[in-house]
Amino acid sequence: MISVLLVDDHRLVRTGIKRILGDTRGIEVVGEAETGENALTLAREKNPDVVLMDVNMPGMGGLEATRRLQRRCRDVKVIVLTVHAVAPFPARLLEAGASGYLTKGCDAVELVGAIRAVCNGSRYIGTDIAQQLALTLLPGADRSPFDELSCREMEVMMMLVQGHDTRYMSQLLSLSPKTVSTYKYRLYDKLSVRNDVELTRLAIRHGIVEADVAN
């Protein structure tokens, strides 16, 4: 039996996935979490085989949660299940240790196939994601300015556009306020923005966040 932990801040999404997996032989949902912090706690308690991880969530996002899960629970396989197909999310989540990456537009058959594939030791990348990753490697391909950010800079950036301050981020990321500020101004420099407002506008323009998420 494959045990699965669902991590998504939308209850309706979790309910739909739980219904799909509940009708699938050999797969069992053992827990649900609304935030990255809750995911880490439940992963230690439930020891699931697979974590289905959203990216945008209040507090700790999917990127940081995936990184910590892979450090603390090495046997747990993370499959990212998100609306984000744009660069640099797929590359950064895979770098952080995710074993799979799917968009929420995938069907039930693909979702179940991905879960079984990663449990068998394979990586699974949705067809649309694989195509997008391949296109970014072509000469002359359009690149997002966010491609220049490291995993840690991406996580700080996502928290900044959600309106979190330096003190909160330092507590959540287990970093000193000075280190968080260093990441903040480093990503400002890489993206050629001067403040959080310009950063948010750039993130919306490139599809990194939606306007309602940033408000």
CATH of the domain at 92: 3.40.50.2300
Please work out, in degrees rounded to the nearest 5, the angle formed at the alpha carbon of residue 125 by the alpha carbons of 38 and 9.
25
DSSP-assigned letters across all residues of 112-143: HHHHHHHHTT--EE-HHHHHHHHHHTSTT---
**Structure token digits, residue 98:** 């995710």
Quick one: 171 and 130 in the same domain?
Answer: no
Residue 128's pLDDT band (cuts 50, 70, 90): confident
As a whole number, the mean pLDDT across the chain is: 90
Q: Is the pLDDT of residue 20 over 90?
A: yes
Question: 136, 165, 193: which is the final residue of a domain?
Answer: 136
Quick one: 109 and 164 in the same domain?
Answer: no
Quick one: 131 and 149 in the same domain?
Answer: no
Quick one: 117 and 42 in the same domain?
Answer: yes
Number of domains forming the structure of the chain: 2
Q: CA 88, CA 94: separation in Å to the nearest integer?
A: 10
Quick one: 128 and 167 in the same domain?
Answer: no
Quick one: 149 and 123 in the same domain?
Answer: no
Question: 136, 153, 179: which is the final residue of a domain?
Answer: 136
Q: What digits encode the pLDDT tens for the residues 170-194?
A: 998 899 999 999 999 999 999 999 9
**Structure token digits, residue 211:** 């306007």
Give me the torsion for CA of 96, 99, 101, 106, rounded to 10°: -160
Quick one: 201 and 127 in the same domain?
Answer: no
Quick one: 128 and 149 in the same domain?
Answer: no
Work out the widest C-alpha separation in the chain, in whole angstroms.
Answer: 53
Q: What digits encode the pLDDT tens for the residues 79-96?
A: 999 988 777 888 889 999
CATH of the domain at 189: 1.10.10.10
- Strand arrangement, sheet containing 50-53: 27-33, 2-7, 50-53, 77-82, 100-103, 124-125
- Predicted local confidence at residue 86, as pLDDT: 76
Quick one: 113 and 150 in the same domain?
Answer: no
Residue 46's pLDDT band (cuts 50, 70, 90): very high
Q: Is the pLDDT of residue 139 over 80?
A: no
- Predicted local confidence at residue 50, as pLDDT: 98
Q: Is the pLDDT of residue 215 over 50?
A: no
Question: 136, 162, 189: which is the final residue of a domain?
Answer: 136
Query: Do 24 and 1 meet the contact criterion of CB atoms below 8 Å apart?
Result: no
Find the domain containing 60 and state its range.
2-136
Residue 142's pLDDT band (cuts 50, 70, 90): low
Quick one: 203 and 124 in the same domain?
Answer: no
Quick one: 130 and 151 in the same domain?
Answer: no
Q: What digits encode the pLDDT tens for the residues 188-202?
A: 999 999 999 999 999
